[in-house]
Chains A and B, each alone.
Chain A
Amino acid sequence: MSIEKTVVRGGLAGAEAAPRVPFPGLLRLTYSRTVIELKQFFRQPESAVFTFALPILLLLLFGTIFSDTITGPPGVKAVNFRQYFLAGMIASGVMSACFNNLAISISLEQSEGMLKLLALTPLPPAAYFGGKLMSCLVISVIETVLMLILGVGLFGVSLPVDLMHWAVFLGVLVAGVATCTLLGIAYTRFIPNSRSATPMVMPVYLILQFISGVFFQFTQVPTALQWVASIFPLRWMALGLRYAFLPDWFKSQETGQSWNLPIVFAVLAIWLVVGLIISLRTFRWGRTRNA
């Protein structure tokens, strides 16, 4: 049959295959996947409320409750805890928008047979993952911008002071999105079915928030828990964002009296690679060898 079609299309009698209509490009398909992902994310109450709105509600709630200040050495202006808290909440929002979002939604797609359905179409896997990554980036950016508006408007939080601080802010944001996205994809490997997804994701998220310096000052968390938190990306994302939002003297309040920016990016990079390796080795796109 394809021969007949070829003949009709090419107007050639026979051997040489006429040029086929090309497949849509990867960029176009990634864009199309991104739009669909975003539509589904924001239209469904489960994701729109629990994944997107929850961090913002927590920001509003705790931003209203917390009013302490953190004082530094004599002569410097004390820091409002809300300023500290906003940095942590942005990091936490990125984790929710990427890690929680993907771990739950991909588990669901797997158990509902949607991954199989997509894998049997000519959609390249790169467009599927590109759509996941881009939609997570867009959700994270919207989440962050809303938090900044609320933080500045309601709680009088001040924005990064100069180009360097903005650059680190954007750098941590982008690296955080990439790392949390890959870890979200990788984490589905450990989720046996979609019903286990939320119970396996939310405790990780909540516990990491508590021990990573989001709700409390990190140095006040018990040392053993600080060590545990330091294994995972959230604590470092929060630290990198505190560099962006807090005055430089505040590093004296941090572990090692330093912002440790190289460690921030190194930890994110290591987890990015770990997430990538687990995803590449275990993610089943299309072909299955066994039942």
Chain B
Amino acid sequence: MTAAAPAIAIRGLRKSYGDLTAVAGVDLEIEHGEVFSLLGPNGAGKTTLVEILEGYRDRTAGEAMVLGVDPAHPTRDWRGKLGIVLQTTGQFESLSVEETIVHFAGFYPAPMNVDHVIGLVGLEGKRKDRWDHLSGGQKRRLDLALGLVGDPDLIFLDEPTTGFDPGARRQAWDVVRELTSLGKTVVLTTHYLDEAEALADRVAVIVGGKIIEVSTPRELGGRARAVAHVTFAATDALAGVALPVLRGEVRADDGRFVITTDYPTAVVAALTAWAATHGITEIPALAVTRPSLEDTYLRMIADREADSTQLRGAPGAAKKANGASR
């Protein structure tokens, strides 16, 4: 393996179960040190794809290299470099947090310090507690600890923060950021778009077993260039004052003005000039918004949903539905 080889490289990856195509030809490269997020609705093939890369499931066709090894032929050495947090919570009945982590640490040649891992996931106060007495979020943090304890180079996190309270989620995000700062590669499957936005360098949207876009969270779905909304409140101070000519479509909506525009900067400039000439010192509740990652993602999914339904039966059928679904 050369230093330039990506952490994960897959080409034409397919997985079928009889007539059902779970992964329908995926090409992807994930660089070392990258946090890469897989987004997609349930049943889109995310978990199957990840399981193939983890060396758990065989692929039907295509090529895959993970840390320089074909995951269809996993070696112990290679497994030692992976850290895995499965979607399902582990069951460690009657074992304490510490016992469980120490046990798993023993599987690896150079594990992390157990105290350090316990601190990292914030279970210091629970180390002697039995698994049975942990809350759902604490059990999940133990799963995270077990994924980290081997000091892996590449970490697969499958919906790691499901069931976390907001504070615990932020803490888990900090853990992922710390991993990145250590140069580790993270593949994050999640349903939380804010999580992907906060952590991921790049995201891939998977629908019907196909990657429909790979991009940065900022640019996904043309988001950075998407139409913007300039809004402000229609208060009494503005009553009787005519709006200036604006580059966009203006409408009054529920006590506020909404200007849909491709040129938000020009609109705001026109508005501020207009406010100054009318002696309005502050335009109430002035804001420029663009679609959130979630808005963009949901639109992309809605666009492709019809395709993916057909894709499962016959991959060739995908094309003809394209564009018709809007």
Known: A121-B79, A122-B80. A287 touches B90 (CB 8 A): no
* Across-interface contacts of A291 in B (CB, < 8 A): 17
Q: From residue 114 to 153 of chain A, which have CB atoms closer than 8 A to chain B?
A: 114, 116-117, 119-124
B76-A122 in contact (CB<8A): yes
Q: From residue 54 to 113 of chain A, which have CB atoms closer than 8 A to chain B?
A: 108-109, 112-113
Q: Contact mask A198-229 → B, CB, 8 Å, 1/0?
A: 00000000000000000000000000000000
B276 CB–A CB distance under 8 Å: no
A23-B80 in contact (CB<8A): yes
B103-A40 in contact (CB<8A): no
Chain B interface helix/strand/loop/mixed: loop
A281 CB–B CB distance under 8 Å: no
B82-A120 in contact (CB<8A): yes
A43 CB–B CB distance under 8 Å: yes
A2 CB–B CB distance under 8 Å: yes
Q: How far is the CA of A23 from the CA of B76 in the complex (A)?
A: 9
Q: How far is the CA of A24 from the CA of B76 in the complex (A)?
A: 11
A44-B32 in contact (CB<8A): no
Known: A113-B88, A123-B107, A287-B55. A1 touches B183 (CB 8 A): yes
A289-B91 in contact (CB<8A): no
Known: A21-B109, A113-B88. A120 touches B94 (CB 8 A): no
Q: Could you say which interface size class chain B belongs to?
A: 35 or more
Q: How far is the CA of A290 from the CA of B18 in the complex (A)?
A: 10
Chain A CB count within 10 A is highest, among B67, B90, B185, for B90
B58-A289 in contact (CB<8A): yes
B56-A120 in contact (CB<8A): yes
A11 CB–B CB distance under 8 Å: no
B57 CB–A CB distance under 8 Å: yes
* Across-interface contacts of B79 in A (CB, < 8 A): 120-122
Q: How far is the CA of A124 from the CA of B79 in the complex (A)?
A: 10
Q: How far is the CA of A213 from the CA of B150 in the complex (A)?
A: 51
* Across-interface contacts of B2 in A (CB, < 8 A): 3
Q: Which stretch of A28-36, A231-239, A247-255, A263-271 is in the interface?
A: A28-36
B153-A36 in contact (CB<8A): no
Chain A CB count within 10 A is highest, among B57, B82, B106, B183, for B106
* Across-interface contacts of B110 in A (CB, < 8 A): 21
Nearest CB to that of B16 among chain A residues?
A290
Q: How far is the CA of A104 from the CA of B229 in the complex (A)?
A: 60
* Across-interface contacts of B95 in A (CB, < 8 A): 36, 39-40, 43
Q: From residue 61 to 116 of chain B, which have CB atoms closer than 8 A to chain A?
A: 67-68, 74, 76-77, 79-82, 84, 86, 88, 90-91, 93-95, 99, 103-104, 106-110
Known A120-B56, A120-B79, A288-B56; further 9 A-B contacts with Cβ < 8 A: A1-B32, A4-B3, A23-B76, A28-B106, A117-B86, A120-B82, A121-B84, A122-B108, A122-B150
Q: List 6 A-B contacts (CB under 8 A).
A: A1-B33, A2-B68, A23-B77, A32-B106, A120-B84, A122-B108
Q: Which residues of B contact A (CB under 8 A)?
A: 1-3, 7, 17, 32-33, 54-58, 67-68, 74, 76-77, 79-82, 84, 86, 88, 90-91, 93-95, 99, 103-104, 106-110, 146, 150, 153, 183-185
Q: Which residues of A contact B (CB under 8 A)?
A: 1-5, 20-24, 28-29, 32, 36, 39-40, 43-44, 108-109, 112-114, 116-117, 119-124, 286-291
